[in-house]
Chains A and B, each alone.
Chain A
Amino acid sequence: MYNAHRRSLFLFAFLAAPVTLYLVYVISPYVQAFYIAMTDWRGVSATPEFVGLDNFVRLFSDGIFWKAVTHNLALLVLLPLLTIVIALFFAFLLNVGNGRGVGGVAGSKFYRVVFFFPHVLAVAVVAVLFQQVFRPDGSGMLNGPLMALGARPVGFLSDPDVAFWSVLGVMLWQAVGFYVVLFSAGLASIPRDMFEAAQIDGAGRVSMFVRVTLPLLWDTIQVAWVYLGILALDVFAIVWVMTDQHGGPDFSTTVMAAEIYRNAFHYFRFGYASALGVVMFFFTIGFTILSLRLSRRERIEY
């Protein structure tokens, strides 16, 4: 009896602090957000009034909201696709790609170390760095050489047609190395014999990649897809810090998270911002469930 009592006291002592913190700072804000989304709350002094689904109705006719959603969806398709293709390519070269067909090219460790580095930098720091890299005149790292060659400078961040691609480019720059390392780890856990056997059976590089590497890496690719998809839906700092007018020019780069922040902390439209947050929540949950469903496949045991 005494022992049972001691045991439950121990369980309580170990769980009390983490659970309390988590309920206060994480769960309660999420729950409140769903309610606030149905009010017209605009500030500290005004008393929020329940307005039902009005905020959501307004959202649907809000052009900026749709721009943000479009950009998030474009990133949702492009970022995982491009990152995974590039990272798989490099991971394959680094691990299976030497002349013998098995084992990495010389210096593969060095490449891995260099490629991964951008991932440890803060997104806010990367955003400021590329703001300078993308300067619109001859003092920009990219426009300098372009203009020296006689080309017209590119408005990487000032041209509404280009700015979105600059954002995507920087996200790729930061993401690829992480997935090279992730896929390398996945490849390293595949027994060497598989590749050697395939090679002896006469498999070339391409068929080796398509028929051996890809199926055996499928689990890792699936994880990468979900991670990158969430990254694409969650993107904030790179847009907020790097682009002109926080998501500009003319909202050509804005994303859902930026609009939530802008509405809540620049316009003090707390109700409307929360409604945006609810929409974003359903996008994220929807994406996660959908991708886990679609990519479910027999796991290959080896």
Chain B
Amino acid sequence: MTTTTSWTVANSRRLARREGRRRLGPMAALSHLALLLWTVLTVVPILWTFLASVKSEDEIFGDAWSLPATLQWDNFARAWEQAHIGQYMLNSVVVVGFGTFGTMLLGSMAAYVLARYEFRGNRAVYLLFVSGLAFPVYLALTPLFFVVQNMGNVPLVGPFIGLNTHAGLVLVYIAYSMPFTVFFLAAFFRTLPQAVAEAALVDGASHTRVFFQIMLPMARPGMVSITIFNILGQWNQYQLPLVLLQERDKWVLTQGIADISTAAGYDQDWAALFAALTLAILPMLVVYTVFQRQIQSGLTAGALK
């Protein structure tokens, strides 16, 4: 009896599919057309920028779609050196490197404790962190500027964490990454089994050791997702550095790029602007192509929780 039923189901599915293919043929073609249209919309502005990055100044001001007579690789050298893109990129790498490391270390510690230990005030601390998800950062902008400025007056460490310092920006990044990191990782730690950690504690391992040697490795998938989320978020941050880093040589990449286009004047180097844009986009493209699966799941993970 069961075999008959499943045969019927399988058969009717096959029939339905065959039927569907015949009926929806033109629809599939239209689907591809719509999808191709959006592909073109997505890709063309980026390719156009790449193209302009090897044009000469005159060609850039000429017909938008003309091809360059000779490839002006020199644009990249000028963008790297004179427009300081190399310096800005290095600054970004340093700030995001330390920022994300600090965020993951402190965020996972807080999330772990809040998710797995009962103590008075646990709920309050958790809500304090999570409430940050709902605040617009712009409300805090003015006071934050003065908080960081005042940090500069703290004895000993002051000069390293005040305005116009990378360490100061790193601390701010860590603090502002806490709400989402704690929210996400606490949820993740709650799903992990209790038994392994308990066994280790019984065997005499310290709480700290249990965290670093057992729980953190077990939380790896969640850690990877949220690390990617934080790297991209901090790499693309523009608002906070704009307020906190005003000295040119301290700037991060987003500030540098935004500045070349607004730094008006007749000596504006448009060719270098396109080269600088390309230098900002290409590494992302490469990293994205290699890690697109992890990046997509890392960035959407938060929304699906």
**Is residue A29 contacting chain B, with contact meaning CB distance below 8 A?**
yes
Least Cβ distance of A46 to chain B in Å?
Answer: 13
The reply to whether B136 and A114 contact each other, CB–CB distance below 8 Å, is: no
Give chain A's interface secondary structure class. Answer: helix
B256 and chain A: residue at smallest CB distance = A124
Bound complex: CA A285 to CA B182 (Å): 20
State the CA gap A224–B302 with chains docked (Å): 11
B16 touches A199 (CB 8 A): yes
Say if the beta carbon of A149 comes within 8 Å of chain B: no
Contacts of A51 in B (CB 8 A): none
Given contacts A120-B295, A220-B304, contact A257 B206 (CB under 8 A): no
Q: Is A173's CB within 8 Å of the partner chain B? A: yes
A177 close to chain B: CB less than 8 A: yes
0/1 string, B261-305, CB within 8 A of A gives 1: 110000000000110010011001100110010011001100110
A94 within 8 A of B: yes
Given contacts A173-B41, A176-B38, A277-B139, contact A139 B63 (CB under 8 A): yes
Knowing A26-B175, A33-B140, A284-B136 are in contact, say whether A265-B243 is a contact too (CB < 8 A): yes
Is residue A123 within 8 Å, beta carbon to beta carbon, of the partner chain? Answer: yes
Partner pick for A123 among B31, B63, B238, B262, CB 8 A cutoff = B238
A11 touches B (CB below 8 Å) = yes
Given contacts A21-B178, A120-B295, A122-B236, contact A241 B262 (CB under 8 A): yes
| CB-based contact A98/B117 at 8 Å | no
Let me know if B156 is at the binding interface, CB within 8 A.
no
Determine if B207 and A10 form an interchain contact, defined as CB atoms under 8 angstroms apart.
Answer: yes
Decide yes or no whether A302 CB sits under 8 A from chain B.
Answer: no
Residue numbers in B under 8 Å from A21 (CB-CB)? 106, 171, 174-175, 178
Interface size class of chain B, counting residues whose CB lies under 8 Å from the partner chain = 35 or more
CB distance from A295 to the nearest CB of B (A): 15
* A118 within 8 A of partner (CB): yes
Instruction: Tell me the A107-130 residues at the B interface (CB within 8 Å).
Output: 111-125, 127-130
**Is B1 among interface residues, defined by CB-CB distance under 8 A?**
no
Contact of A33 among B106, B142, B236 (CB under 8 A): B142
User: Once the chains bind, are A30 and B125 in contact (CB under 8 Å)?
Assistant: no
Bitwise interface map of B from 8 to 26 toward A, beta carbon under 8 Å scored 1, else 0: 0000110011001100110
Check A273 for interface membership: any CB of B closer than 8 A.
Answer: yes
Judged by a CB distance under 8 angstroms, whether B77 is at the interface is no
The answer to the question of B107 belonging to the interface, with a C-beta cut-off of 8 Å to chain A, is: yes
Contact of B208 among A10, A135, A264, A288 (CB under 8 A): A10
Q: Are the C-beta atoms of A22 and B281 separated by less than 8 Å?
A: no
B236 shortest CB reach to chain A, Å = 4
A131 interface residue (CB < 8 Å to B): yes
Q: Which of B20, B147, B211, B303 is within 8 Å of A29, CB to CB?
A: B147
Query: Cβ of A211: which chain B residues have Cβ within 8 Å of it?
Result: none
Q: Which of A6, A123, A182, A278 contacts B236 (CB 8 A)?
A: A123
Does A260 have its Cβ within 8 Å of any Cβ on chain B?
yes
Contact with A along B164-178 (1 / 0, CB 8 A): 000000011011101
List A residues 1-59 near B (Cβ within 8 Å).
6-8, 10-11, 13-15, 17-19, 21-22, 24-30, 32-33, 36
Selected from A141, A185, A236, the residue in CB contact (under 8 A) with B48 is A141
| A121–B176 touching, CB < 8 Å | no
In the bound complex, CA of A29 to CA of B303 (Å): 27
Q: Compute how far the CA of A273 lies from the CA of B145 in the bound complex, rounded to whole angstroms.
A: 13
Most chain B CB neighbours (cut-off 10 Å) among A18, A94, A111, A131: A18
Residue-by-residue, is B100-114 near A (CB-CB < 8 Å gives 1, otherwise 0)? 000000110110111
Task: Find out whether the CB atom of B112 lies under 8 angstroms from the CB atom of A14.
Answer: yes
B35 touches A111 (CB 8 A): yes
Nearest B residue (CB) for A103? B17
Contacts of A178 in B (CB 8 A): 299-300
Specify the chain B residue showing the minimal Cβ separation from A219: B304
Task: Give Cα A24 to B28, complex, Å.
Answer: 56
- B257 on the interface (CB 8 Å rule)? yes
> Across the two chains, which residue of chain B brings its CB closest to A24?
B147
In the complex, the answer to whether A90 meets B34 with C-beta atoms within 8 Å is yes
Cβ 8 A contact of B138, one of A99, A135, A257: A257
Interface set of B (CB-CB < 8 Å, partner A)? 12-13, 16-17, 20-21, 24-25, 27-28, 31-32, 34-35, 38-39, 41-46, 48-49, 52, 60-65, 106-107, 109-110, 112-114, 117, 119, 125, 128-129, 132, 134-145, 147-148, 171-172, 174-176, 178-179, 182, 206-208, 211, 232, 235-239, 242-243, 253-255, 257-258, 260-262, 273-274, 277, 280-281, 284-285, 288-289, 292, 295-296, 299-300, 303-304
Known: A220-B304, A241-B238. 17 other contacts (CB 8 A): A7-B207, A14-B112, A21-B106, A21-B178, A26-B140, A26-B175, A32-B147, A86-B38, A99-B21, A115-B42, A120-B284, A121-B284, A124-B258, A130-B45, A132-B49, A240-B258, A274-B143
The 3 A-B pairs at the shortest CB distance, nearest first, are namely A144-B64, A25-B175, A277-B139
